[in-house]
Amino acid sequence: MQQTTTLQIAHTVSETRAALREMRRRGLTIALVPTMGALHEGHLSLVRAARTASDAVVVSIFVNPTQFGPDEDFAKYPRTFEADCAALEREGVDLVFAPAAEEMYPPGASTFVDVDGVSERLDGASRPGHFRGVATVVAKLFHIVQPDKAFFGQKDAAQVAVLRKMVRDLNFGLELVVCPIVREPDGLAMSSRNRYLSLEERRQALALNRALREVERLAAEGVTPAQKLIATAEAVLAGEPAVRVDYLHAVNPDTLEDVADTRNGALIAVAAFVGATRLIDNLLLPGKPR
Ligand code: AMP
């Protein structure tokens, strides 16, 4: 185990368990923030929320191969481990768990977590097997770390729905905390994948947030039919022809099923390709008080 002034870095499950045993022996409550690294302010907002809510913060950094499709960006996904650890140390994180793929998936591993239903919707429809990979790795992280609370971003709204259901269905004894989307000053949702964008694509990508803000404006005026809101978002996105929409839906945030009307609340979720880069963003519309 490497040890800097405050930050411990573990690469194996047994080192991680040993460090956690020590924390628990001291009576500390433990928060987990799962990430794939290439950390930005969005990730750090989760770390800060975790820090406030718990005595000890564990951050996992693992680019999980099972959640990438064969034609996706697993090989080129940004890996900035040294810089990530430096940032986490500045944030007062206690432990980084950064396993190799063979540590997480021993040869012959054949057990997976399928959250049927929600896993096939939104990103799950576009990226078959994606949420099976996510649910499996997060379940494993929950077993290894056994946190009191685990922190996730609203940025990945479909992932939140899948994991909430998994926590409920499999009786994980932890609280799942969801933190708001952190954006660049011009509105682009922060993402490790934003670094793939050229300057021109970076500008084009702003259409996603523009479309959501337009939906928000209409919703604030009292417009509730999903069809109207989605048509408005589509029109904004069509104004940026370089942006190729993958999905755009108004859904129930828990089941991810389409809703016809948003008056009881809805998730407006969008995924789009800008060049070769797939970006996601969303807006949570609150239900009207009845
Ligand atoms: P990732 O490293 O992309 O797997 O993300 C790790 C966690 O950070 C997930 O729970 C994401 O939802 C969250 N996250 C990523 N980007 C943002 C953002 N812009 N704002 C808030 N949370 C985020």
- Catalytic pick among 11, 40, 43, 130: 43
Work out the pLDDT band at 1, boundaries 50, 70, 90: low
Tens-place pLDDT, residues 134-152:
999 999 999 999 999 999 9
Work out the pLDDT band at 20, boundaries 50, 70, 90: very high
Flag whether the pTM goes above 0.85. yes
Give residue 2's pLDDT: 58
- For ligand 1, mutation pick of 41, 43, 196, 281 (most atoms within 8 Å of CB): 43
Give residue 117's pLDDT: 95
Considering only the top CATH level, what class is 2-179?
Answer: alpha beta
User: What CATH number labels 192-282?
Assistant: 3.30.1300.10
Give residue 287's pLDDT: 83
CA–centroid distance, residue 238 to ligand 1 (Å): 27
Q: Encoding tokens for residue 105?
A: 């998936």
**What percentage of the chain carries pLDDT values higher than 70?**
97
Is residue 4 predicted with pLDDT exceeding 70? Answer: no
Atom in ligand 1 nearest the alpha carbon of residue 154: 12
What is the arithmetic mean of pLDDT over 90-102?
98
Decide the pairing of beta strands 95-97 and 56-61.
parallel
Tens-place pLDDT, residues 49-63:
999 999 999 999 999
Tens-place pLDDT, residues 264-280:
999 999 999 999 999 99
Give residue 289's pLDDT: 60
CA–centroid distance, residue 282 to ligand 1 (Å): 13
Is residue 3 predicted with pLDDT exceeding 70? Answer: no
Residue type, 31: A
Give residue 288's pLDDT: 64
CA–centroid distance, residue 159 to ligand 1 (Å): 10
Give residue 70's pLDDT: 96
Is residue 190 within 6 Å of ligand 1 at its C-beta? yes
Domain coordinates in residue numbering, the chain: 2-179, 192-282
Tens-place pLDDT, residues 221-275:
999 999 999 999 999 999 999 999 999 999 999 999 999 999 999 999 999 999 9
Quote the mean pLDDT of the chain: 97
Q: What angle do CA 107, 112, 116 make, to 5 degrees?
A: 165
